């Protein structure tokens, strides 16, 4: 058990070093996306690296490990409180391969915090063509414009795989029954969907505000997961 604890301390410390030193350029971009000041980014980096060092020192001196572990946990909780954003789970219902845009839609699970401020969300009945057993209200809303990451996570027999596409939510009202977003892509949408389809990804996607593909790739590397990024 002692050896396992030591291994975890070393793994956490190495992960923090990898993200905040090797992948520091991604950290800079993330703080810009969340409109957080540079001084806060630098302060968080100094604290995290310090706590990671204390974890390593704590391999021989236990109290230092406690301080390092508690400090990292507090910083992670604070980061979630400051930057945690809702996500929108969707399917593609329409695509224009000539113009490289697609409409992502679901029956009404968009968090209201993601709704376009110019279009007030409302409750609408689920359309009759949704299928047998589908009934009740749906949230009708249009996603607010801005950069977005379209992510897809699937599990295979022996592995998890993650893909991410960068796009831009357009400021176009969606008159759908349910929630929707029209997203333009800076690459061939046809080729991108063919690629991820051939790699076994499913038809459910998660829309995440901001372009966070490089960060997702970094975590996949740490976790030993297969990653496909199309930007």
Query: Which tens digits make up the pLDDT trace of 89-138?
Result: 888 989 999 999 999 988 767 787 888 888 877 777 665 555 555 556 67
Residues 58, 68 contacting (CB under 8 angstroms): yes
- Give the architecture (CATH level 2) of 88-230: Alpha-Beta Barrel (3.20)
Report the candidate in 143, 64, 150 with the shortest Cα–Cα distance to residue 109.
143
Structure tokens at 230: 């199309």
Does the structure show a pLDDT above 80 at 158?
no
Task: Specify the residue for token string 């956490």.
Answer: 12
Q: What is the pTM of this model?
A: 0.66
Rounded CA-CA distance 173/182 in Å is: 9
Q: How many CA atoms lie within 13 A of 85 on its CB side?
A: 18
Which comes out higher in pLDDT, residue 136 or 215?
A: 215
Query: Which tens digits make up the pLDDT trace of 14-54?
Result: 878 877 887 788 778 777 766 778 888 888 888 888 888 88
Comparing 53-67, 68-82, 170-184, which segment has the lowest mean pLDDT? 68-82
In the chain, domain spans: 2-83, 88-230
Residues 156, 146 contacting (CB under 8 angstroms): no
């Amino acid at each position: 058990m002692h050896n396992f604890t030591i291994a975890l301390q070393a793994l956490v410390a190495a992960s923090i070093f990898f993200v905040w030193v090797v992948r520091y350029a991604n950290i800079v971009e993330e703080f810009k996306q969340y409109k957080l000041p540079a001084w806060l980014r630098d302060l968080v980096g100094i604290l995290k690296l310090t706590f990671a060092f204390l974890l390593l020192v704590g391999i021989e001196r236990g109290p230092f490990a406690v301080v390092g572990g508690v400090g990292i946990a507090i910083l992670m909780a604070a980061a979630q409180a400051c930057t945690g954003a809702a996500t929108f789970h969707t399917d593609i219902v329409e695509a224009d391969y000539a113009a490289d845009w697609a409409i992502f839609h679901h029956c009404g699970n968009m968090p209201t915090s993601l709704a376009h401020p110019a279009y007030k969300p409302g409750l609408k009945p689920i359309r009759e063509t949704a299928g047998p057993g589908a009934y009740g209200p749906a949230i009708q809303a249009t996603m607010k414009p801005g950069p977005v990451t379209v992510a897809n996570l699937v599990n295979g027999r022996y592995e998890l795989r993650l893909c991410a596409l960068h796009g831009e939510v357009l400021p176009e009202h969606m008159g759908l029954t349910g929630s929707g977003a029209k997203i333009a892509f800076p690459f061939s949408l046809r080729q991108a969907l063919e690629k991820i389809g051939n790699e076994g990804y499913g038809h459910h996607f998660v829309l995440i505000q901001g372009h966070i593909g490089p960060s997702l790739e970094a975590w996949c590397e740490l976790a030993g997961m297969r990653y496909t990024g199309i930007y």
